[in-house]
Structure 1
Amino acid sequence: MKTQILYHAKQCGEDECCGFVIDNKTYIPCDNISNDPKNHFEISPDDWITAEEQGVITAVVHSHPDGLPILSEADQIFQQQTAVDWWLVCDNQIHKFRYMQPLIGREFIHGTTDCYTLFRDAYHLCGFNFPDFHRDDDWWDNGQNLYLDNMQSNGFHQVSISSLQEGDVILFSLNSKTVNHAAIYIGNNLILHHLPKRLSKRDLFSGYWLKNYHSIWRHKQWQPSNFMAILNNMAINTK
């Protein structure tokens, strides 16, 4: 299937290719009927119907021939409508983006949609895949240190607050001696994070948050262009 997808993208040249993955095992190529196929893709309703008749659509596939290996703002909006994974062909590679709730406005469910989930999902959009793991309620009061024990092993290194930049992960100790909360710095002195009993949201990195931050971490492979993926997702909430 990988060979078929890459071949189809190559055959489309400067135009975006598009198609479907059926039952996680079969690729169905489609014609791009967009009026601007070099910058956008559109699949006809008939192709959607044909694909659904052949099985379960498990992913929508398209390419960015001369673009970045991240989902655009339009891509992320349409992914919410399809509610399936989206696969993106770029630089002769297939980048797979799992379907997820928008980063802003999530309900808090510990271990399912919590501060670590937000951190993990935001970085997934940027092309980084971090492990998920079981975490009990109040793990920080039971001898565990899940954030600090895993940052370096997943490619992060600590930086100073004076060098804070968009995409950095800020760790906090909230009512605990152990680091138990994470946020992503999104510029303009704002953080994106998710607290219990609240929807995920932006907050000013000042006052209480500045007083209780523990450390700041940056991925060794982070590039400023990665942050565009997070911005594209946050734009969903302005539509």
Structure 2
Amino acid sequence: MTMKKIILKHAIQCGDHESCGIVIDNMHYMPCVNIATDTLNHFEIAADDWIKAEEQGKITAIVHSHPNNGQPILSEADQFYQQKTAVDWWLVCNNQIFQFRYIQPLIGRDFQHGIMDCYTLFRDAYHLCGFDFPNYVRDDDWWNKGLDLYTEHIESNGFYQVKLSEIQEGDVILFSLISQKANHAAIYIGNNSILHHLPKRLSKRDLFSGYWLKNYHSIWRHKEWQSSNFTAILSNMAINTK
């Protein structure tokens, strides 16, 4: 039986209670007993199980389930503890396994072009919502080197353009900053605000007005976007601004 089938079987055996376990070396799943007080809505892995897993190899992922019609995204508490463990978290929901790689908090990131920049923020924010986009190799100042990375790839990744008057939470806003090409991206987070990451600055929220409104290029929405997806982004911002 494959590791993923073992994980799904364990979740089914736990019924309405959250299952939990540990992936070791990306190869072996160690089922654990959920010792949380409220196992219907939460999970907790015993310290002895952590020690046992570490003795067997490297912990590469934490697994738990969202039974009872739970959403296939990490909750605010899940994201908080994922940041504490600094490993991938796998979520069993609707008899499927959703894998969430460990990412740095969306707010307060240091900028490093091609590694931790505006596209990284865009990609990571959407990963929290259950979408996976390619991590394109990109040199600094690519927009002045004959490339048009955002507009060349955004439609092929499932986005379509919407009007400014139709903007909603989760939409991606492209900007043209000292360029004719779209060379900067932000996530619209409601209340006339955006989440983005500029060179030499920490990732942050800004008002979508003045300079930003004047220099926006276009607004894009994913074909499979649902308003419930945005909960994952809100949760990440909430735990990192308290």
- TM score, norm. by length of structure 1: 0.99
Task: Report 1:1-239 matches (<5 A).
Answer: 1-66=3-68, 67-239=70-242
* Structure 1: gaps spanning 5 or more residues: none
Query: Which letter does structure 1 place at the counterpart of 2:143?
Result: W
CA deviation after TM superposition for structure 1 residue 235, in Å: 1.1
1-side partners of 2:107 and 2:65: how far apart? 26
SS in 1 for 2:126: helix
Deviations 1:11-40 (A, max 9, x none): 000000000000000000000000000100
CA distance in 2, matches of 1:150, 1:118: 16
1:62 CA displacement = 0.3
1:195 deviates by 0.1
Partners of 1:80 and 1:127 in 2: CA distance? 17
- Where 2:234 maps in the other structure, the secondary structure is helix
Aligned equivalents of 1:90 and 1:195: distance in 2? 36
Q: Among all aligned residue pairs of Structure 1 and Structure 2, give the percentage whose two residues are the same amino acid.
A: 74
Q: Which amino acid aligns with 1:4?
A: I
- C-alpha displacement at 1:72, in angstroms? 0.4
Distance (Å, rounded) in 2 between the aligned partners of 1:6 and 1:93: 7
CA RMSD of aligned residues (A): 0.5
- 1:156 & 1:132 partners in 2: Cα distance? 16
Which ranges in structure 2 are unaligned for 5 or more consecutive residues? Answer: none
User: How far 1:237 moved relative to its partner?
Assistant: 1.4
- Cα shift at 1:238: 2.7
Cα-to-partner distance string for 1:104-154 (whole Å, 9 max, x where unaligned)? 000000000000000000000000000001100100001100000001100
* Shift in Å, 1:236: 1.7
Q: CA deviation at 1:234?
A: 0.6
Equivalent position amino acid for 1:163 in 2: E
Report SS of the residue matched to 1:149.
helix
Q: Which runs of 4+ in 1 moved over 6 A?
A: none
